[in-house]
Amino acid sequence: MCGICGILNLSRDRLPAEDLQAMSSVLGHRGPDDQGKLVSGPVALGFRRLSILDLSRGHQPMCNEERNVWIAFNGEIYNHAELRPGLQKRGHRFTSNSDTETIVHLYEEYGDDCVRHLRGMFAFAIWDARYNRLFCARDRLGIKPFYFAMVGNRFAFASEIKALFELRDFNARLNRSALPEFFTFGYLSAEETLYKNVYKLLPGHCLCLELDSDNARPQITQYWDLNSSAPERSPSEADCISRFRDLFAETVRSHLMSDVPLGVFLSGGLDSSSIAAVMASLKKEPIQTFSVGYEESQYSELPYARAVAKHIGAEAHEVILGPDDFFASLPRLIWHEDEPLVWPSSVALFFVSRLASEKVKVVLTGEGGDELFAGYLKYRVALWNLRGGPLYRKFVPRFLQQVVRKALSSGLGPDWALRKLRHSFLYHPDSFEQIYFDNFYAAFPQHQQPLLFTPALNDEVRDVNAYANAMRYFPRNGWNGNSLNRLLYMDIKTYLVELLMKQDQMSMAASIESRVPFLDHKVVEFAASLPARYKLRFSSGKYLLRKAMARDLPPEVLRRNKKGFPTPIRPWLRNQLFERLSAVLTDGRMAERRLIEPGYIQHLLTAHRQGDSAATEGCWRLLNFELWCRIFLDRDAKVANSVAAHKQPALSKSDVVRQSETLLPS
């Protein structure tokens, strides 16, 4: 796991080394073990290393024998040892045992098709001096990040957005047209980011830029997509379970490739517990597990994590997170994610990553299992609504439908009951966007945004469809009528990509590498080929995974419902943290931006304090957005060059204060 960055000058002039050094420095937390650079004519490649494989010879940028093909690579290639003999037979000479060198020789042999041979997580840039050509690629699922921008006549890329702002004459600016989608989902599903003129290379895509071309601009192509069509004839259940057990064990084994200590994040849920159990069966010594919990027992999954750790004979480590540490960490973690935090679980993930960094340099995590095997409740509810809604509209009189909806909108009744009923077709119309997105994602559904935004912003974004980017990945027809696989495909292309960004940035903030065995593309393709009944059965998700792991995990873990890094954010923000939340949202600085209506903020705070969970979600979204504005758009303050609690190297001009009165009033 590393940090990469680079610049290509389209005018072919030599680049000053200072710009590259500034970009590399701001990525120091991603690679504290080593750094390297290549500055050659119009190209500059930068690299920060977290040493995992071939510790003495894995220095980058790395080149071929003739020193005319160079690479800066972030990730791990799990099949690099299998690829090496074939390349050697074709005459390629290796000077290291690094997986990085395998990519270089694959590119020499297969050109852009080299990516099709790779099994792993990766983001890389190859400079081919023979043809004045830059070739960049991102792994199939988006496990590793890759951001880019055109800055004048320079193309620049980096593992984190903040590195791009180290370039002269390029500052962070708000992408105002993205605000409807951001305030609906909390993230953007397409190429754009919250920063104007900064883009992400989408998963399964590659980018090429040729200086000798008549049009020396980035050319982006897709090299992989997921086929989620259910087969006409599916294998038997026993055969699917057997095939999955073999594939999953082989995948976890490949993810143990390392020359440094490994561990596993263990929540006590089915996904992380499955990985921990298989990992324990493959290791001779006890594995190291890392878990996070809270003093509020109803939110803490530590009892389940302890039960799994005891069952598999692991050495368990825990960290307890409280409201003060949680709130104080927000500015620093927003700085690491480059965008507003979407989920409170980002904070928990950072603290458990920091705990793990005291023992290991690599962790395996359970990310992706829910999107592959339908673990979230939202899939079951969405299918129920899509099937039951039309019947309800057909047979229940319209006036009675209106009475029911008005009653649910009134707010009268227990919040938990209203929340459940508002997830049903009793509250939502037959619009898929409202049944699915507004139901499970939206802090501010688009139909509410005229109240949230100022009149000027409403006029500016009037024609923006907040749901359009996500709906690109929800085919209306085809796939043998498999509605569940269509939902899973869309989430893999959108929601999961944001989860993986969180996973990457929060683990790298603590300088550790996280690996996601469920998202090995062979496992993903296998899961996508399964019929829905092997995922959802008797209103329970992950049917096949539960069956496959029945011999390896305690019954209470196999039976439990999905929680997913729960955080006591609602009680904290309503009680211990309310004054600090209110101070950020009402001190006048948000109003000065003329984006959000001040009166609506007061309405939200009141409803939040009274127990309205939807208002709490809205307050959380606004809190993180405002802190992000102060950190990146206002450049509110500089961070101290050394923060002992985070063990960070000196940072650069993008630094922010970990906790200051201007960001977080006490």
Q: Which residues are catalytic?
A: 2
Question: What is the number of residues in the chain?
Answer: 666
User: CA 117 to CA 407: how far, in whole Å?
Assistant: 57
CB 162 within 8 A of CB 3: no
Residue with tokens 């190297």: 649
Query: Phi then psi for 66, rounded to 5 degrees?
Result: -85, -5
Which amino acid makes up residue 476?
A: R
Give residues with Cβ within 8 angstroms of 490, minimum separation 6. 470, 473, 474
Positive or negative torsion for Cα 431, 436, 437, 440: positive
CA 614 vs. chain centroid, Å, equals 23
| Cβ atoms of residues 47 and 31 within 8 Å | yes
CA atoms within 13 A on the CB side of 301: 26
- The answer to whether the CB of 120 falls within 8 A of the CB of 78 is yes
Alpha-carbon gap, residue 328 to 335, rounded angstroms: 13
Q: Phi and psi for 111 in degrees, rounded to 5?
A: 65, -140
Q: What are the DSSP calls for 270-296, one per residue?
A: HHHHHHHHHHHHH-SSPPEEEEEE-SS
CA nearest to 4, candidates 549, 14, 112, 34? 34
Strands 34-40 and 43-49: antiparallel
Write the DSSP symbol of residue 481. Answer: G
Cross-strand partners of 221: 206
For tokens 């673990």, name the residue: 375
Cα–Cα distance for residue pair 188/452, rounded to 1 Å: 19
User: Do 71 and 114 form a contact (C-beta atoms < 8 A)?
Assistant: no
